[in-house]
Amino acid sequence: MQELIYFDNAATTKVSKSVLDAMLPYLEQFYFNPSSIYSAANFSKEAIEKARGQVAKAIGAQSSEIYFTSCASESNNWAFDIAKKRKAQVHFITTEIEHVSVLRTAKYQEKEHKVTYLGVNDDGRISLGDLEKNITKNTSLVSIMYANNETGVIQPIDEIAEICAKKGVLFHTDAVQAVGKLPIDVKKQKVGMLSLSGHKFHAPKGIGVLYVNKEIQFNSFLFGGSQESGKRAGTENVANIVAIGCAIEEAMVCMQKENEKIQSLRELLFDGIMQIPQVKFNGCRNHSLPNILNFSFEGVEGEGILLHLDLNGICCSSGSACTSGSLDPSHVLMAMGLSHATAQGSVRISLSKYNTQQEVHQFLDVCGPIIEKLRAISPIWQRS
């Protein structure tokens, strides 16, 4: 197999060597059930609490406010469940550009409750006035993602949280893409609940977190044992918990240095891709994660680009309908006002600390010719 160029780090990341080294003993030696009474099991119990502290510190929370879950999808589902049980009449506010784990959870609530979906401007950001206008006395949750997984666009989280605090509404943010890339302080930023996922910052898949501010009263989400303060039963995934603690600590220590490196690669990619005629940048230059870029290439469809990139050993994603298995192109790009054809021709490039300048150059060498080749076949390129 040729050496892969992995530009799909918003989908998942490689587990780092140090994280792997930290977690392996909890599969091989300290495999005990942390709830067991014997002293050997104590190692596992302590390791979980150490990791809880690491996660808490990374986002400015207290350890007791950190709940380990199986993934951020679970965290997002749980956040809605918590909010739903707080009021008799329930109104949710979210956005049109959320990850499906929020969107479909919200959609399900529509059976019994009112849900408002805020639109976004063409730069992918919500309007604060729009949010304020839609909050009513029944609003029990505002759930707005920290940064978008397709475009990397960062929402005005501080201002959103301020509005929610002023109106006394619980605020949840799906911070899956933001954690490890942006400094987060849930207390200063007045975030009530926050979801995050380990595999986006070099921990393995299968471990997520829901932060819930201690002022919030809530019941158990999974019934059973007394794990996670009795709120989420199930024997802890000790190795993965150790891994997420290690990974988040590493991400915090290296954030600035890594962001600088990733950002320079991103700029190199941006400048190179913008050389291609009729390409549209989908995002917001001033409010963006350092690692995600999204472009639409007029006249071509995303899957074709991805297949050609794959033949060149490059892994990327697309917001095209074909790759998502539905007929509709990316809901995020459509919400930003792109036409169907333009949204279909989108490609997302997402970087990590493991990417290199050489990889960026290799990408740029093949990207232009691929677009040219597909445009030569395209009936709509001929027209434009």
Residue ranges that bind other proteins, judged by CB under 8 A: 299-301, 303-304, 307-308, 311, 320-322, 325, 327, 329, 339-341, 344, 376-382
Q: How far is the CB of 329 from other proteins (least distance, A)?
A: 7
Q: Which is nearer to other proteins, 267 or 365 (CB)?
A: 365
> By C-beta, is 168 or 325 nearer to other proteins?
325
Catalytic residue, chosen from 71, 164, 322, 367, is 322
* Minimal distance, residue 1 CB to other proteins, in Å: 16
Residue 276 C-beta: closest distance to other proteins, Å = 17
Smallest distance from the beta carbon of 11 to other proteins, in angstroms?
16
Indicate the residue among 220 and 339 with the shorter CB distance to other proteins: 339
Respond yes or no: is residue 322 known to be catalytic.
yes
CB neighbour class for 358 (10 Å; exposed up to 12, middle 13-18, buried from 19): exposed
Q: Shortest gap between Cβ of 334 and other proteins (angstroms)?
A: 11
Judged on CB neighbours under 10 Å (0-12, 13-18, 19+), 243 is buried
And the tokens for 238?
Answer: 């000790």
Q: Which is nearer to other proteins, 204 or 319 (CB)?
A: 319
Which run of H or of E encompasses 68? strand 66-69
Q: Which letter, b or e, does each residue of 23-52 get, where b requires 16 or more Cβ atoms within 10 Å of its Cβ?
A: beebeeebebebeeeeeebebbbebbeebb
Q: How far is the CB of 173 from other proteins (least distance, A)?
A: 32
Q: Could you tell me the maximum CA-CA distance found in the chain, to the nearest angstrom?
A: 74
Of 237, 188, 197, give the one whose Cα is nearest residue 27: 237
Q: Which is nearer to other proteins, 191 or 336 (CB)?
A: 336
Please, which residue, 264 or 382, has the CB nearer to other proteins? 382
Instruction: Tell me the CA end-to-end span of the chain in Å, nearest whole number.
Output: 39
C-alpha–C-alpha distance, residues 273 and 125, integer Å: 23
Q: How far does Cα 88 stand from its chain's mean position?
A: 31
In whole angstroms, give the CA distance from residue 353 to residue 100.
27
Q: Which two tokens stand for residue 370?
A: 């691929």
Q: Cα–Cα–Cα angle for 183, 185, 188, nearest 5°?
A: 130
Catalytic residues: 322
